[in-house]
């Protein structure tokens, strides 16, 4: 007998519009949503609806079931990326079609992540996740053009620097927003939650060094290179210019 689904996100106290209007205080409401795995298909369905997407049930099931052994790349991470995508879409004033596409890409961007067993080859994890999403979308009779666009967006979330990713980011506004949504919590949440996420990632990926040092190196990288979208960059600058900055992990370079 299966356990009763846990509706961790059904009673979200805020909307994307509320978060947009209260930024950077809205980060406190976002980071209050549980991160830990597992969460059910209905959990993910409710957070997707909150962000503006009526997602395919098969995709939701795959996201809820995938990578249950991961300590970071699990459904809790998917939910926070979806929440960030909904906020960024609102601030960007995206039309409904683009909003749904961005939130969908956020849901599936790590759909087939292998966690500790992940290959270090560039784009390996992203291609696995994108292909799985394409199979589900096409298998449900979805638009193949939509599926291929999702594939391209997911590739942009690879943390690598090469001509292929640079071209995607340069040519696709949604790719820049998705990339920022992917690391939103680690950059724009208060430092204590950023450390918590880093600890989970360190455990999963067996990263060397103390958690605080891993977090510091990541924060320095983002602080030096900046975020991909002007919108997220402006949100970070606003956070750093407020009382929120005393608890934020990232500092921008001069």
More confident residue, 11 or 185: 185
| Mean pLDDT, residues 29-41 taken together | 77
The answer to whether the beta carbons of residues 64 and 44 sit under 8 Å apart is yes
Average confidence (pLDDT) over 209-234: 88
Helices and strands, number each (H, E), in the chain: 14, 0
DSSP-assigned letters across all residues of 154-188 = HHTTS---SHHHHHHHHH-HHHHHHHHHHTHHHHH
Query: Would you say domain 16-184 falls under CATH 3.90.1150.10?
Result: no
pLDDT, residue 243, reads 65
Q: How far is residue 65 from each of residues 59, 136, 170, 185, 233, measured CA to CA in Å?
A: 10, 14, 33, 22, 33
Three-state secondary structure string covering 187-201: HHCEHHHHHHHHHHH
**Backbone φ, ψ for residue 89 (5° rounding):** -60, -40
pLDDT-based confidence at residue 11 (cuts at 50, 70, 90)? low
What is the distance between the terminal CA atoms of the chain, rounded to a whole angstrom?
Answer: 58
Answer yes or no: is pLDDT of 7 > 80: no
pLDDT digits (tens, 9 = 90+) for 111-138: 888 877 666 788 888 999 999 999 888 8
Q: Give the predicted TM-score (pTM) of the model.
A: 0.90
Residues 43-100: tens digit of each pLDDT:
888 889 999 998 888 889 888 886 557 889 888 899 899 999 999 999 999 999 999 9
The answer to whether 85 touches 103, Cβ cutoff 8 Å, is yes
pLDDT band with cut points at 50, 70 and 90 for residue 107: very high
> What pLDDT is stored for residue 245 in this prediction?
57
DSSP E strands, the chain = none
**What's the chain's Rg over C-alpha atoms?**
17
Residue 169 has pLDDT above 90, yes or no: yes
Average model confidence (pLDDT) for the chain? 84
């Amino acid at each position: 007998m299966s356990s009763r689904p846990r509706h961790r996100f059904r009673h979200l106290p805020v909307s994307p519009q509320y978060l947009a209007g209260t930024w950077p205080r809205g980060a406190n409401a976002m980071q209050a949503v549980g991160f830990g795995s597992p969460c059910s298909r209905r959990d993910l369905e409710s957070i997707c609806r909150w962000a503006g997407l009526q997602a395919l049930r098969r995709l939701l099931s795959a996201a809820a079931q995938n990578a249950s052994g991961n300590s970071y790349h699990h459904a809790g991470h998917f939910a926070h990326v979806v929440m960030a995508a909904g906020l960024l879409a609102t601030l960007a004033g995206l039309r409904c079609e683009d909003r749904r596409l961005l939130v969908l890409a956020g849901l599936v961007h790590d759909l087939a992540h292998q966690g500790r067993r992940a290959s270090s080859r560039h784009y390996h994890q992203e291609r696995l996740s994108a292909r799985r999403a394409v199979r589900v979308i096409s298998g449900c009779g979805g638009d193949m053009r939509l599926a291929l666009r999702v594939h391209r967006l997911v590739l942009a979330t690879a943390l690598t620097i090469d001509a292929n990713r640079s071209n995607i980011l340069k040519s696709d506004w949604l790719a820049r927003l998705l990339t920022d949504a992917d690391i939103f919590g680690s950059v724009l949440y208060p430092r204590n939650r950023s450390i918590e996420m880093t600890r989970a990632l360190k455990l999963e990926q067996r990263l060397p060094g103390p958690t605080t040092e891993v977090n510091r190196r990541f924060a320095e990288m983002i602080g030096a290179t900046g975020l991909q979208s002007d919108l997220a960059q402006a949100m970070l600058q606003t956070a750093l210019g407020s009382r929120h900055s005393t608890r934020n992990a990232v500092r921008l370079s001069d």
